[in-house]
Amino acid sequence: MSDKIPVTVLTGYLGAGKTTLLNRILSEPHGRKYAVIVNEFGEIGIDNDLVIGADEEVFEMNNGCVCCTVRGDLVRIMGGLMRRKGKFDAIIVETTGLADPAPVAQTFFVDDDVRAHAALDAVVTVADAKWLSDRLKDAPEAKNQIAFADVIVLNKTDLVSADELAEVEGRIRAINPYARLIRAERCQVALADVLERRAFDLDRILEIEPGFLNTGDGHDHHGHDHGHDHDHDHNHDHGHGDGLKHYHDEDMQSLSLRADRPVDPARFMPWLQALVARDGKNILRCKGILSFKDDDERYVFQGVHMMLDGTHQRPWRDGEARESRVIFIGRDLPEQAIRDGFAACIAA
Amino acid sequence: MSEQAVASLAERVVPFDLGVPIIATRFLGATAAFACGEEMVALVGADGAATRVAVHGGAILCATGDARRIVTGGDDGRVVALDADGAIEVVATDAKRRWIDSVALHADGAVAWSAGKTVFVRTAKGDIKSLDVPSTPGGLAFAPRGFRLAIAHYNGVTLWFPNMAGTPEFWEWKGSHLAIGFSRDGKFLITAMHEPALHGWRVADQRHMRMSGYPSRVKSMDWSADGKWLATSGADELILWPFQSKDGPTGKPPVMLAAPNRSCVAALACHPAEEVVAAGYGDGTLRLVRVSDGAEIPVRAATAAGPDDASGAISALAWDARGQMLAFGCADGAAGLLKL
């Protein structure tokens, strides 16, 4: 794992500030050298021979699965970049504002050559604090990008009031409660919060616990008492309380399941595989840590749509609660069926 | 090659180390040219002494050649031809300095290359023609007869007569098509796809053929000297598809030769006269395999630390025109010349 080049996928709706963030990454004196795959040459103000233009060429895998889409241009560009291994420390892939992050992520799951040399680090989504709430209503791409993210940079917070900020954060959390949310003005964020996060690294999947109130510099300093004033009015006319609103997104949800008793792998694995085979089109991301029956090692997995990747990670530590946790983020998730299916996997 | 049994040819190998990954090799007369992953081509004489020639200002992305020159495309946007004496000709410099993703040569001296979604041809007379295709080409190949270029891209191939007006033909087959080549008689066109499979068309009527069952992607393919077999990498055995009949391999299984290795065949080259294939594996093993009976002679032992170690995979193989020398290069920079 350690010798693989980390790849950060940078997404964000049109005008959210991706290029600003990219220019910051390339100009700050952090001592790291990045190869950058961009979709628009010329927007980058930095002269760097490791900035490569890409065409976002997505093709369907020839395996009959319509959601198994791959960025062929990335496969090609990664192959070329690997010829210059040693000239850079990490890779950033910028997507267009209207792009679905899934084909990018899936490229790193399915292409053996890419997998051999590089590993997806995190999907970082830049969101516009002023306009995101509107885009979540009218732009499915924007919602996808939020749902897919490991890190969300909520940019332009200086352009909104405290109430507006609370609203947009509530809407983000309704879609994706698990991503790290960082507030920023003009994309002024600590780059360590954005780059080389190892969010896809199965060794680090433990950050699965929702950081509901982690914003800004990552401290719980807001003191919103969430839990009150639940609003299930489906995206319109929320109140003006000072707490963090809980919104319910009409089509994108997350689902978190847990079990204190061990899970039976002979039931869980077939269930999970059948679930993503059937509903993978709608499941954008899934992750889990599992305590299997008669197994002293933690099992971790993650998935993008129909693709799953899992491994025994490490022995459970003495005194560590042997608890299984699984999360799904997706569209129109069959919540009750997933809950029942998971419950049936708990060993007797 | 002699018919007597030979235990190993390792003693006849002149080994050397270029220190950087090798992506392609070919003989320019008695000189072996090795295209490296970055910047240079090494010209190596029979004694193993290497002369390094800087040809690109960055990565070398693709290479091809004929008996006279090796032609490379780089991420510096240049197409460069180099001869055995070290003379460099810059064939083209892309106006936008895009990566040169693929190159191909015609027997009459014409050169084709692609940058982004545009394919260029410089004819033997020096005219430059270009064609835009729907997606970035994965490979280019000239037909052995006539002046026709096949371009592999997403969802099929485009066949273009660069000297004729007319609309190029598009032969559709879903998926991403990468490496591409015609059979020696020009009757079949084969592509290696992104998934571990080949696709083929009979040129006369575009009848499809699918060749699948590989555990890994096919990156190297070559036709036997008589044109009856297509030898391919991608499996732990050497896979040869039969092309003796007018239907090609349709309805026929491939021949699988050589004892299964712990890693897959990564590169191969058919002998220019005999029914013998040089097969290089992901673990650095190199063997000569006879097509008639599968007999094999080891040339080089594995160098890999374990079954998953592909750092020293054989990445380039070529015979000289008479079939008396074999050049090989590896992903870790190791290389050698076998003299038969």
The per-residue DSSP string of B86-139 comes to --EEEEEE-TT---EEEEEE-TTS-EEEEETTEEEEE-TTS-EEEEE-SS--SE
- Is residue A220's pLDDT more than 50? no
C-beta atoms of B101 and A76 within 8 A: yes
Quick check: A80 and B99 CB within 8 A? Answer: yes
State how far the alpha carbon of A98 is from the alpha carbons of A52, A95, A101, A123, B278, in Å: 19, 8, 9, 15, 48
Q: Give residue B225's pLDDT band: very low, low, confident or very high (50, 70, 90).
A: very high
Tokens of B257: 């030769």
Contact B310, B298 (CB under 8 A): no
- pLDDT given for residue A47 in this prediction: 60
How high is the pLDDT of residue A217?
A: 36
The pLDDT of residue A178 is 87
What's the average model confidence in pLDDT over B119-137? 97
Average pLDDT over residues B220-240: 97
The closest CB to that of B174, out of A53, A60, A84, belongs to A60
**Option in B75, B116, B176 nearest A59 (CB):** B176
Decide if B23 and A63 are in contact by the 8 Å CB cutoff: no
- Does B310 reach chain A within 8 Å, measured CB to CB? yes
* Residue A30 confidence class, pLDDT cut points 50, 70, 90: confident
- How many Å lie between the alpha carbon of B107 and the closest alpha carbon of chain A? 28
| pLDDT higher than 90, residue A10 | yes
Residue where the block lists tokens 């009959």: A64
Is pLDDT above 80 for B2?
A: no
Burial class (CB in 10 A: 0-12, 13-18, 19+), B263: buried
- Asked whether residue A213 carries a pLDDT value surpassing 60, the answer given is no
Tell which residue, B58, B146, B73, has the closest CA to residue B104: B73
Question: How is B178-228 classified by DSSP, letter by letter?
Answer: EEEEE-TTSSEEEEEESSSEEEEEETTTTEEEEEE--SS----EEE-TTSS
Secondary structure element (H or E) that encloses residue A337, with its range: helix A335-343
Paired with B290 in beta bridges are B276
Out of A49, A61, A70, name the one closest to residue B58 (CB): A49
Give the confidence band of A56 by pLDDT, cuts at 50, 70, 90: confident
Q: Is B118 on the interface with A (CB under 8 A)?
A: no
- CA B153-B157-B162 angle, 5° bins: 105
- B249: pLDDT strictly greater than 80: yes
Give the SS3 label for residue A218.
coil
Q: What is the mean pLDDT of residues A214-233?
A: 36
Residue A59 — very low, low, confident or very high, per pLDDT cuts 50/70/90?
confident
pLDDT computed for residue A43 by the predictor: 59
Distance CA B265, CA B216 (A): 10
Interface of B with A in 225-284 (CB under 8 A): none
pTM for this structure?
0.86
In angstroms, the Cα distances linking B319 to A64, A147, B284, B338 are 40, 54, 18, 9
In angstroms, the CA A51 to CA A92 distance is: 10
Residue B119 has pLDDT above 70, yes or no: yes
CB-CB neighbors (< 8 A) of A80 in chain B: 59, 61, 75, 99, 101
pLDDT of A207 higher than 90: no
Contact across the interface for A113 and B21, Cβ inside 8 Å: no
Burial of A180 (0-12, 13-18, 19+ CB in 10 A): buried
Least reliable range by pLDDT among A204-218, B4-18, B88-102, B137-151:
A204-218
Check whether A48 has a pLDDT greater than 90: no
Closest by CA position to B119, among listed B101, B97, B107: B101
Mean pLDDT over all residues of chain A?
A: 83
pLDDT for the residue numbered A226: 37
Q: Do A83 and B21 touch (CB under 8 A)?
A: yes
Mean pLDDT in residue range B303-312: 88
Q: Per residue in A108-145, is it b (16+ CB within 10 Å) or e — as a string?
A: bbbbeebbebbbbbbbbbbbbbbbbbebbeebebbbbb
Q: What is the pLDDT of residues A261-298, one digit of tens each?
A: 999 999 999 999 999 999 999 999 998 999 999 999 99
B 33-62 residues inside an 8 A Cβ radius of A: 37-38, 58-61
**Does the pLDDT value for residue B43 go beyond 70?**
yes
Token duo for residue A102: 């899934």
State how far the Cα of A154 lies from the Cα of A146, in Å rounded to an integer.
10
Kindly identify which residue of chain B lies nearest to residue A41, measuring between CA atoms.
Answer: B96
A234: pLDDT strictly greater than 70? no
According to the model, what pLDDT value does residue A232 have? 38
Residue A224's pLDDT band, with cuts at 50, 70 and 90, is very low
Percent of chain B predicted with pLDDT > 90: 93
How confident is the model over B72-89, as a mean pLDDT? 97
* A105, A132 contact by CB (below 8 A): no
DSSP letter (8 states) at residue A264: -
CB-CB under 8 Å, A70 with B136: no
How much is the average pLDDT of B289-309? 92
Q: State the CB neighbour count (10 A cutoff) for residue A41.
A: 13
Query: Is B59 close to A81, i.e. CB distance below 8 A?
Result: yes
Note whether A78 and A71 are within 8 A (CB).
no
pLDDT of residue A247: 78
The pLDDT value recorded for residue B245 is 93
CA B47 to chain centre: 25
- Please check whether residue A9 is in contact with residue A120, taking contact to mean a CB–CB distance below 8 angstroms: yes
